[in-house]
Amino acid sequence: MSQTTRTHEPTSAPGARATVDDAPTTPVAVQRRQPQGRMLKILPWIVTPSLVILIIVAWQLYVTLGDVNPFVFPPPAAVGQAFVVLVTDPATWAELGITVSEILIGFAVAVILGVIVGVVLGKLPWLELSIRPLIVISQVAPKVAFIPLFVIWFGFGMTSKIVLAALLAFFPVMLNVLLGVRSVEQGQREVMSSLNASRAQTFTQLELRSLQPYLFAGMEVGIVLATTGAIVGEYLGGSEGLGAMVVRAMNSLDAARTFALILLLALIGLVLYLIVNEAKRFFIPWHESVYGLRSET
Amino acid sequence: MSRAVRPPATSRRRKNARVATALLAAGALALTACSTGGAPAASDGDEQETELTKMLVVTFLPLESFSFTPEMFAYSGGYFEKHGLDVQLQPVQGTAAAIQALLGGATPITRASTVDVFPAMEQGQELRSIGTMAYKSNLRVASTEDNSITSTADMEGATIGMGSLGGTSEKMLDLALGADGVPLDSVTRQAVPVTGATMEVVRQGQLDGYIVSLDTSLAIAQQNDDAVVDRAGLTDAPDIQTWITTADNLEDPELVEDLEAFLAAIDEAVQDVIDDAPNDFENVLQTLRESGDWSFPALEDDQVAVEALKIYTTETWVNEAADVRLLENDLEAWQTTYDTYVDAGLLQGGKDPQEWITNDYVPGD
């Protein structure tokens, strides 16, 4: 983090670190950093489109020069055309609605359960120690292998996909919350104690606010995994949603449509991630991960 | 079994062959030493081993099914090696993936149903059928006595499960429904695990029935007293499972030689399975079981195994009209199948399907 960041960081907010260097930044230093700040602001608008164009050009060259069969790897123009057809079809939006609903519901369940379990385990180290092997086992178990069973247990509708999305998103949220609860500095606890704060007050005023950055870190990973879970659930055991559309397109040997659907799914994942990221900026503007980036740009 | 590439048996056999060769060589050396007073052996054991041509063959599903008996038996019975091939069998998920693997050059040959391969052929893909593996479909519908499905009419308004949406099962269902005048959209399709466990979902009423392979249908019928397993009109629709390659491959003389050797090995293996029928396939099952290469419930169950192999050897791998020999493409049936698909709206029509087929590489008499 730069000096500029630390200089502007509010010290009153819980969870914020004490300022190391409170000396005002000199005008010269500010002037020196302004061009860099502007550059950082416009960098994504230059680099990302450039990379996209580069990838498309390389893709086109590869399929043209390599004489690649379009059934195996379609050219970008065919995928673009299929993408336009896809997004202008009302049926796609109906399926998209199903997929997004599964992702959001699964993610919400994961966040709620993740916070509850994370806080409980964070505050009860003996319990966390006792069940740690189970936590690790359940985290490393290949959950995708359970999809056929989920379909049988939870039915063919949205429920089985929501369960998978929630299951995948749960652990990063829970583990980050647990870490957040454990990361509250002893000194801050002592301050609360010296102010005669009750346990509830300590929790709401200190712990809950302190763990927010950790929670959002978990949520950023969780939303990506929830998206993956819902899509894989549809892919392996569904008849609705974009995942099922991918299966149909693949079975029809329609490679361009398959690629277009994958592109659409990737965009959905990106949008959902950005929403969570924006929520983080909104809820914890005081945290270094948000404030630091903002002052840099 | 679902290992990606399958070298063990070949390696094992090779190792055994090497050990045997080494022992023979050692024995010969000892005898030579005795007879010639210790003259060095003239030949090296490794030189006696025939060099096998490596060949990666893609299968559209994992091999744990009697549907793949030709490949499994040719592999474990040493038929591929006899024909100079070191075949590795690589399963992929679904026929579409198998066709893509072929077109992408990952495999020189695979097998696929006409219902899946005709659309690609019609779109101009240079695919060629060089032999027929199955002259008809073996799909069955599993349901319960309370709500049995034994015809396409029973499926109207029903929810039918299948392994994959848009795949072979759904296309065959569409063909069967269309042929009987049942509206296609009157049947709800649902992707389900095509295992015996799904019967529970049928009992719960979430599904009315589901499409399964022959092996699974026999196992379901055996394990569930209330199960009804029926062709339900699915096998009435024409479907030919053919060995396919690309036109480019057929222009490569070396590859053609390998393809012919592959078909010859399959042909011989299938003929031996058929010949083992009076013996209740005891030799075939013994070879498959003792090889240790395969492990799936149907293989260990004598009743299911014999029943399945009976159907394959009498209805599936042989032409019931008996006017074409093993693996030979039935040109008339090929044309009829194409016309049926065109009539059903599955294909646009207007092509000559005979251009996509050849009997030049099928083993001769």
DSSP A224-237: HHHHHHHHHHHHHH
Q: Residue A149 has what pLDDT?
A: 81
In this complex, which of B96, B125, B200 lies closest to A152 when CB atoms are compared?
A: B200
For residue B193, which residues of chain A lie inside 8 Å, CB to CB? 148, 151-152, 237
B103–A148: do the CB atoms touch at under 8 Å? no
Q: Residue A258 has what pLDDT?
A: 94
More confident residue, B31 or A106: A106
Lowest mean pLDDT among A35-44, A93-102, B176-185: A35-44
| Angstroms from A59 CA to nearest CA on chain B | 16
B193–A253: do the CB atoms touch at under 8 Å? no
For residue B125, which residues of chain A lie inside 8 Å, CB to CB? 69, 71
| pLDDT confidence bin for A208, thresholds 50/70/90 | confident
Rg (CA), chain A: 24
For residue A69, which residues of chain B lie inside 8 Å, CB to CB? 103-104, 125
Lowest mean pLDDT among A267-276, A281-290, B15-24: B15-24
Mutate to test the interface with A, among B92, B165, B246 (most CBs of A within 10 A): B165
Torsion angle (degrees, nearest 10) of CA B271, B273, B278, B281: 170
Inter-residue contact A159 to A238 (CB < 8 Å): no
For residue A252, which residues of chain B lie inside 8 Å, CB to CB? 96, 119, 166
In this complex, which of B96, B104, B201 lies closest to A250 when CB atoms are compared?
A: B96
| Angstroms from A15 CA to nearest CA on chain B | 49
Among residues B15, B76, B67, B17, which one has the least CA distance to residue B293?
A: B76
Q: Scan for tokens 């690309």, then name that residue.
A: B246
| pLDDT confidence bin for A67, thresholds 50/70/90 | confident
For residue A236, which residues of chain B lie inside 8 Å, CB to CB? 191
For residue A255, which residues of chain B lie inside 8 Å, CB to CB? 100
Whole-Å CA distances, B332 to A170, B337, B350: 58, 9, 17
Whole-complex ipTM: 0.72
**What SS3 class is residue B242?**
strand
For residue B192, which residues of chain A lie inside 8 Å, CB to CB? 151, 156, 237
B195–A148: do the CB atoms touch at under 8 Å? yes
| Angstroms from A92 CA to nearest CA on chain B | 16
A236 touches chain B (CB under 8 A): yes
A231 touches chain B (CB under 8 A): no
Q: How far apart are CA B221 and CA B215, in angstroms?
A: 10
Among residues A22, A21, A17, A10, which one has the least CA distance to residue A188?
A: A17
B191–A152: do the CB atoms touch at under 8 Å? no
Inter-residue contact A162 to A103 (CB < 8 Å): no
The pLDDT tens digits for A126-161 are 999 999 898 888 888 888 888 878 877 888 889 999
For residue B167, which residues of chain A lie inside 8 Å, CB to CB? 251
The pLDDT tens digits for B22-64 are 444 444 334 333 333 333 333 344 444 678 999 999 999 888 8
Other CB atoms within a 10 A radius of the CB of residue B144 amount to 19
Strand partners, B54: B86
Whole-Å CA distances, B338 to A54, B102, B169, B276, B326: 44, 22, 17, 34, 21
Q: Average of pLDDT values for A111-132?
A: 93
B96–A247: do the CB atoms touch at under 8 Å? no
Q: In what order do the strands lie in the sheet with B209-212?
A: B188-191, B159-162, B209-212, B140-144, B227-230
Other CB atoms within a 10 A radius of the CB of residue A132 amount to 11
- Looking at residue B159, the DSSP 8-state letter turns out to be E
Q: Residue B322 has what pLDDT?
A: 67
**pLDDT beyond 90 at A268:** yes
| pLDDT confidence bin for A17, thresholds 50/70/90 | very low
In this complex, which of A149, A152, A251 lies closest to B164 when CB atoms are compared?
A: A251
The pLDDT tens digits for A171-184 are 999 999 999 998 88
**pLDDT beyond 50 at A253:** yes
Lowest mean pLDDT among A226-240, A264-278, B275-289, B331-345: A226-240
A253 touches chain B (CB under 8 A): yes
In this complex, which of A73, A151, A248 lies closest to B165 when CB atoms are compared?
A: A248
| pLDDT confidence bin for A292, thresholds 50/70/90 | low
Contacts 24+ apart (CB under 8 A), B76-80: B76/B9, B76/B287, B76/B288, B76/B291, B76/B293, B76/B294, B77/B269, B77/B272, B77/B287, B78/B13, B79/B265, B79/B266, B79/B268, B79/B269, B80/B55, B80/B262, B80/B265
Q: Average of pLDDT values for A26-36?
A: 52
Other CB atoms within a 10 A radius of the CB of residue A21 amount to 9
Give the HSE-up count for residue B165: Cα atoms under 13 Å, Cβ half-sphere: 21
For residue B103, which residues of chain A lie inside 8 Å, CB to CB? 69, 71-72
Q: How far apart are CA B118 and CA B131, in angstroms?
A: 15
Q: How far apart are CA B123 and CA B168, in angstroms?
A: 18
For residue B104, which residues of chain A lie inside 8 Å, CB to CB? 69, 72-73
Q: How far apart are CA B297 and CA B274, in angstroms?
A: 22
B189–A239: do the CB atoms touch at under 8 Å? yes
At B129, give phi and psi (nearest 5°): -85, 120
Whole-Å CA distances, A123 to A156, A176, A184: 38, 13, 11
Q: How far apart are CA B348 and CA A255, in angstroms?
A: 19
**What SS3 class is residue A158?**
helix
A62 touches chain B (CB under 8 A): no
Q: Scan for tokens 């509830």, then name that residue.
A: A200
Tell me how many residue pairs between chain A and chain B have CB atoms under 8 A apart: 71
Inter-residue contact B248 to B337 (CB < 8 Å): no
Residues of chain B short of pLDDT 50, as ranges, are: 1-48
